[in-house]
Amino acid sequence: MLEQFDLSGRVAMVTGCSTGLGRGMIAALAGAGADIVGIGQSDASETAADVAGLGRRFLHIEADLKDSSLAGGIVDQAVAEFDHVDILVNNAGIIRRNDSLDFTPKDWDDVMDLNLKSVFFLSQAVARQFVAKNIGGRIINIASMLSFQGGIRVPSYTASKSGVMGLTRLLACEWAAKGINVNGIAPGYMETDNTQALRDDASRNKEILSRIPAGRWGTPDDMGGAVVFLASDAARYIHGYTLAVDGGWLAR
Ligand code: NAD
């Protein structure tokens, strides 16, 4: 049974590879046997060391994913190094906070370009490679509690993450018959740079903690089981589903 979770010989491309959930998921995927292509804008030396420590290969591609025209070239670079890509984890994401009455077009476009538009065009570029090589593949999109709920003061983030869950379903419907599994993971409230502002606000921190059934913030390590599962043969008949890793937040 456990062999189904083995990712030896697979190549996993993960966006937003330097920090937070991306770094945590890369450690899990490499630990399960995958070589890694990490895409990001910042120094990835800590992630590279994690992967090397697990005995796997790591390629870093520096790119601003807000520019979706880079998608095809990114996949070409990965294929030139590793011959194929089997798994894509669309993880890179940003958030901008402001009252909706004051929200700017820039804070709308920056978030939508990275969190939603690049998810589609990188998925398209990787799926074209899955189809051209006839190898099937896995796409895992990182959604959010705000794929299910409204939130406050984060209009472009909620729009983008609600879109990510819808897009996950659509791509699953189009590509399941081609041997491509498209699924999502919706993290709850996790300790990363992305949520530093919330954790620094004592009253918001207390409010959030008191609502999480597990009684603690999640960590990047908590994402490992879900991402390896969805990337593996064990999830071969799962299509279009977004799995919450949220300490019970949505069950409340
Ligand atoms: P993070 O800020 O640590 O990670 C985001 C990563 O994306 C960073 O490595 C950053 O360098 C990269 N990135 C940002 N802009 C980029 C760009 N233009 N091009 C390329 N890379 C870029 O935050 P995180 O919490 O690890 O977030 C990862 C994902 O998880 C995001 O999609 C986020 O929305 C989602 N998420 C996080 C939480 C949470 O509680 N932390 C909850 C739900 C969803």
pLDDT tens, 79-109? Answer: 999 999 999 999 999 999 999 999 999 999 9
Residue 69 is predicted with a pLDDT of 97
The CB density around residue 3, as the number of other CB atoms within 10 Å, is 9
Residue 14 lies in a domain: yes
pLDDT tens, 58-83? Answer: 999 999 999 999 999 999 999 999 99
Ligand 1 mean position, distance from CA 6 (Å): 26
Number of domains in the chain: 1
Rounded to whole angstroms, what are the CA distances from 190 to 16, 54, 223?
15, 24, 10
Distance (Å, whole) CA 101 – CA 192: 28
CB 18 near ligand 1, within 6 Å = yes
Whether the CA torsion 231, 93, 60, 64 is positive or negative: it is positive
pLDDT confidence tier of residue 194, bands split at 50, 70 and 90: confident
Residue 251 lies in a domain: no
CB 194 near ligand 1, within 6 Å = yes
Residue 49 lies in a domain: yes
Q: What percent of the chain has pLDDT over 90?
A: 98
Distance (Å, whole) CA 216 – CA 246: 10
Tell me the CATH number at 148: 3.40.50.720
Distance (Å, whole) CA 237 – CA 158: 29
247: CB partners within 8 A, 6+ apart: 188, 189, 212, 213, 214, 215, 216, 217, 218
CB 118 near ligand 1, within 6 Å = no
pLDDT tens, 134-192? Answer: 999 999 999 999 999 999 999 999 999 999 999 999 999 999 999 999 999 999 999 99
Residue 200 lies in a domain: yes
Contact of 4 with 232, CB cutoff 8 Å: yes
- Residue 248 scores a pLDDT above 90: yes
Mean pLDDT of the chain: 98
* DSSP-derived secondary structure for 142-182: E--GGGTS--SS-HHHHHHHHHHHHHHHHHHHHHGGGTEEE
- Ranges of beta strands (E only) in the chain are 11-15, 35-40, 58-62, 87-90, 137-142, 180-187, 242-245
Active site residues: 157
Contact of 183 with 241, CB cutoff 8 Å: yes
Distance (Å, whole) CA 252 – CA 242: 17
Residue 104 lies in a domain: yes
**Looking at ligand 1, which residue's alpha carbon is closest to its atom 32?**
93
Residue 247 lies in a domain: no
Structural domain including 52 reads 2-241
Residue 159 is predicted with a pLDDT of 99
Query: pTM (2 decimals)?
Result: 0.98
Residue 50 lies in a domain: yes
Residue 246 lies in a domain: no
